[in-house]
């Protein structure tokens, strides 16, 4: 190769943007849009694994965790006929993962940036789950990438919880 071709190659490599594993294309919906679009909104606490991750593989083929976290529903804010327990794809963590943004949240909590969804839950912590029925009888918090759909709460007077309640009234 000539020095000119090598130089051009390095110029392109240095200026090229690396593709993000997760991007939101188009206008970003507001937090109010997520609340209005949800089929079910609950305040819930993870109790442990419903199904243990099989073998070493912690992530399924679509990027979702292969393990299921069991939740005890503490309060139903939106939706009817919601079971007192539900399961979502996820992994348990010993760490808190609070959203650092101002309320109303525009983006999901910090752990969402690698897999596009916040799939880590701390046992016995409280979470506000903004869920959608993605197939008959299946509720999911993985229906909008990087969205604040399963935020950890600091208690029953958390500003995010109060804001969502206000939107529903």
The string of pLDDT tens digits covering residues 83-101 is: 899 999 898 999 999 999 9
Over residues 115-124, mean pLDDT: 89
CATH number, domain with residue 107: 2.40.50.120
In a domain, 18, yes or no: no
The predicted pLDDT at position 1 comes to: 53
Is the pLDDT confidence value at 39 over 90? Answer: yes
- Is residue 7 situated within a structural domain? no
d(CA 140, CA 131): 5
Q: Is residue 88 part of a domain?
A: yes
CB 168 within 8 A of CB 160: no
Of residues 83, 86, 157, 156, the one with CA closest to residue 121:
86
Domain that holds residue 112: 24-168
Phi, psi of 72 (to 5 degrees): -100, 125
Give the pLDDT of residue 76.
96
Please check the confidence at residue 8 and state whether its pLDDT lies above 50.
Answer: no
pLDDT of residue 148 exceeding 60: yes
Total count of domains within the chain: 1
Beta strand 126-135 pairing with 40-51: antiparallel
| Three-state secondary-structure class, residue 67 | coil
For the whole model, what pTM was predicted?
A: 0.80
29-38, 47-56, 88-97, 141-150: least confident range: 47-56
- Average the pLDDT over 57-67 and give the result: 57
In this structure, is residue 129 part of a structural domain? yes
- Mean pLDDT computed over every residue of the chain: 82
Q: pLDDT tier at 110 (50, 70, 90 boundaries)?
A: confident
- Residue 56 within a domain: yes
């Amino acid at each position: 190769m000539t020095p000119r071709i090598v130089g051009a190659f390095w110029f392109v490599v240095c200026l090229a943007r690396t593709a993000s594993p997760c991007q939101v294309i188009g206008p970003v919906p507001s937090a109010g849009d997520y609340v209005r679009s949800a089929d079910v909104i609950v305040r819930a606490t993870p109790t442990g694994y419903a199904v243990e991750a099989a073998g070493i593989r912690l992530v399924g083929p679509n990027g979702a965790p292969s393990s299921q976290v069991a939740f005890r529903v503490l309060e139903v804010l939106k939706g009817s006929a919601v079971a007192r327990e539900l399961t979502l794809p996820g992994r348990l963590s010993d760490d808190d993962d609070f959203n650092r943004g101002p309320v109303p949240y525009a983006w999901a909590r910090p752990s969402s940036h690698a897999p596009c969804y916040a799939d880590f839950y701390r046992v016995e912590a409280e979470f506000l789950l903004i869920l959608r029925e993605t197939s008959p009888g299946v509720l999911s918090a993985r229906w909008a990438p990087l969205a604040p759909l399963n935020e950890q709460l600091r208690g029953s007077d958390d500003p995010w919880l109060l804001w969502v309640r206000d939107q529903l009234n």
